[in-house]
Amino acid sequence: MIEVKNLSLAYGSKAILKQVNFQIEAGEVVGLVGPNGAGKTTLLSALTGLLPYSEGQVKVAGLYMPAGKALYRKIGFMQDNSVLYPQLTGYDHLQYIALAQGFSKESIIETAERVGMIGYLDQAVGTYSLGMKQHLLFACAILHRPQVLFLDEPYNGLDPTSLIRIRELVMQLNREEGMTVLISSHNLDEIDRMTRRILFVKEGQIIERTLAQSETSDYVVTVQEKLADDWIRRLSDYSFLVSASQLSQALVGLELAGLTLIGVEPRQFGSEQVYRELFEVK
């Protein structure tokens, strides 16, 4: 459903994406993760035809870029709220999309109800909170039931209730309608809830990881006294990592070293752990 080959993109002399390659099959949910400025939004803009690229090939929903307006019948893109018009109502925004795509007024109301914004649909967007704007942006992206849904930081400004509603609706669309989803988010816990396949953007390139469904056999051991800087597999001043097979030996070693054990917990191996390792976050 999404095929990217040797994609490169630069702003002036600054290379943002460098020989990017990946493929996403129909019906997959895939995460897109990286620090600010890594190129996530640039990549999404290239995949949705909004940014030209200098090299490579992009194919989305069977169409090669640039695909023109035919692409926008097949994809939905939730961007940031700078694309909204403050003087128009939420209904105005959705009506524009419905008219362009040939959908009825009923589809507008149905989508607004599913997203949870029916109560302020007729208010001017200039009066919306950040969370309300996120609701509208999401509704605009799914109104026409696209084959491929691109989400750029969909959880910004959402309260827990709205976050759960949006996540469950995305997964419902994927499960029941086979919608392919590429979601960029800094909320790593939510990424882990939605997918085990993640594309990490680092220095303009893609590093792909498919996380194991089960936890690793490693344990995090926490002690009361500060560890030496050269402590093996040290995670912080007061914790280190040890495999299950070496746990008993490590506990004996703590006692011999005069260190006080605080706790032992299974290592939760998710996207945060991979992120820490890839981007050397201590």
Question: Which residues have CB under 8 Å from 178's CB, separation 6+?
Answer: 26, 27
- CA proximity to 56, closest of 19, 23, 24: 19
CB–CB of 140/78 below 8 Å?
A: yes
Task: State residue 214's pLDDT score.
Answer: 45
Work out the percent of the chain whose per-residue pLDDT is above 70.
96
Peptide bond into 66 cis (omega under 30): yes
* pLDDT above 90: residue 204: yes
For range 150-155, the mean pLDDT: 96
Question: Which residues have CB under 8 Å from 101's CB, separation 6+?
Answer: 73, 143, 144
- The first and second tokens of residue 234, run together, are 């040290």
- The first and second tokens of residue 176, run together, are 């029941």
- The residue among 18 and 267 whose pLDDT is bigger is 18
Q: What is the pLDDT of residues 223-251, one digit of tens each?
A: 999 988 888 888 888 999 888 888 999 99
- The residue among 127 and 276 whose pLDDT is bigger is 127
Q: What is the pLDDT of residues 49-101, one digit of tens each?
A: 999 998 999 999 999 998 888 999 999 999 999 999 999 999 999 999 999 99
CB–CB of 142/94 below 8 Å?
A: no
- The first and second tokens of residue 212, run together, are 């194991």
* pLDDT above 60: residue 115: yes
* pLDDT above 80: residue 282: no
Residue 181 Cα distances to 29, 77, 204, angstroms: 5, 10, 21
Is residue 103 classed as helix, strand or coil in its secondary structure? coil
Predicted TM-score (pTM) of the model is: 0.81
Task: For residue 250, give the amino acid letter.
Answer: A
Is residue 188 classed as helix, strand or coil in its secondary structure? helix
